[in-house]
Structure 1
Amino acid sequence: METERSWADLPHETLVEILKRVGFEELYMAVPLVCKAWRTASLDRACWQRVNMESCFCNRTESSAWWQPVFEGKVDYMLKLSVNRSAGSLLELSTRHCSSSALIYLVSRCPSVRHVSVASSRGVTDLAICQLAKSCPQLEHLDVSECANVGLKSLEQIGLSCKYLRVLKKNRFIGDYDPARKSRLPPEYSRTPSPSHADAEVSVIATYMSNLKHLELRHSKISNQGLLTLVEGCTDLEYLDLVGCLNLTRGTIEEAAAKLPNLKELRRSTAPVRTSDVARYGHWQLYDERFQSGFFQF
Structure 2
Amino acid sequence: MEPSGGARLPLGTAGLAGSSRKQLLDLPWEDVLFPHILSYLPLRQLLSLQRVSKAFQTLIQLYLTNMRCFDAGQVGPHIPKAAFCVLLKDNEALQQLALQNCSAWLSDKELLPVISQNHHLLHVELSGCVHLSRHTLVALSLSCPNLRQLSLAHCEWVDSLSLRSLADHCKGLESLDLTACRQLKDEAICYLARRCARLKSLSLAVNANVGDAAVEEVAKGCPDLEHLDLTGCLRVKNDSIRTLAEYCPKLRALKVKHCHDVVESSLSILRSRGVELDVEPPLQLALVLLQDVAGYAPFINLQI
Same structural fold, with TM-score higher than 0.5 when normalized by the shorter chain: yes
Q: Is the 8 A contact 2:187 2:214 kept in 1?
A: no
Show CA shifts across 1:55-74 (max 9, x none): 446xxxxxxxx6xxxx4xx2
CA distance in 2 between partners of 1:166 and 1:109 (Å): 22
Show CA shifts across 1:103-151 (max 9, x none): 1111111111111111111111111111111111211111111111122
Q: Give the deviation of 1:163 after TM superposition.
A: 2.1
Aligned residue in 2 for 1:49: 95
Q: Where does the alignment leave 5 or more consecutive residues of structure 1 unmatched?
A: 58-65, 174-191, 272-298
1:223 counterpart = 2:257: no
**Local SS of the residue matching 1:108:** helix
CA distance in 1 between partners of 2:229 and 2:114 (Å): 28
Q: Is the 8 A contact 2:150 2:177 kept in 1?
A: yes
Larger radius of gyration: 2
**Local SS of the residue matching 2:224:** coil
**TM-score, normalized by length of structure 2?**
0.65
**Structure 2 residue identity aligned to 1:139:** L
Q: Is the 8 A contact 1:166 1:213 kept in 2?
A: yes
**Local SS of the residue matching 1:232:** helix
CA distance in 2 between partners of 1:198 and 1:43 (Å): 45
- Equivalent residues in 2 for 1:262-277, closer than 5 Å: 263-268=274-279
RMSD: 3.1
**TM-score, normalized by length of structure 1?**
0.66
Q: Give the deviation of 1:220 after TM superposition.
A: 1.4
- Decide which moves more: 102-111 or 146-155: 146-155
CA distance in 1 between partners of 2:29 and 2:196 (Å): 39
Aligned residue in 1 for 2:289: none
Aligned residue in 2 for 1:281: none
**Structure 2 residue identity aligned to 1:135:** H
In structure 2, the CA distance between the partners of 1:85 and 1:26, relative to structure 1 (3 Å rule), is farther
1:241 counterpart = 2:255: yes
CA distance in 2 between partners of 1:52 and 1:155 (Å): 24
Give the share of equivalent positions with the same residue, in percent: 21
In structure 2, the CA distance between the partners of 1:156 and 1:22, relative to structure 1 (3 Å rule), is farther
1:102 counterpart = 2:136: yes
In structure 2, the CA distance between the partners of 1:10 and 1:238, relative to structure 1 (3 Å rule), is same
**Local SS of the residue matching 1:268:** coil
Greater relative contact order (Cα 8 A, min sep 6): structure 1 or 2?
A: 1
1:116 counterpart = 2:179: no
Larger helix share, 1 or 2: 1
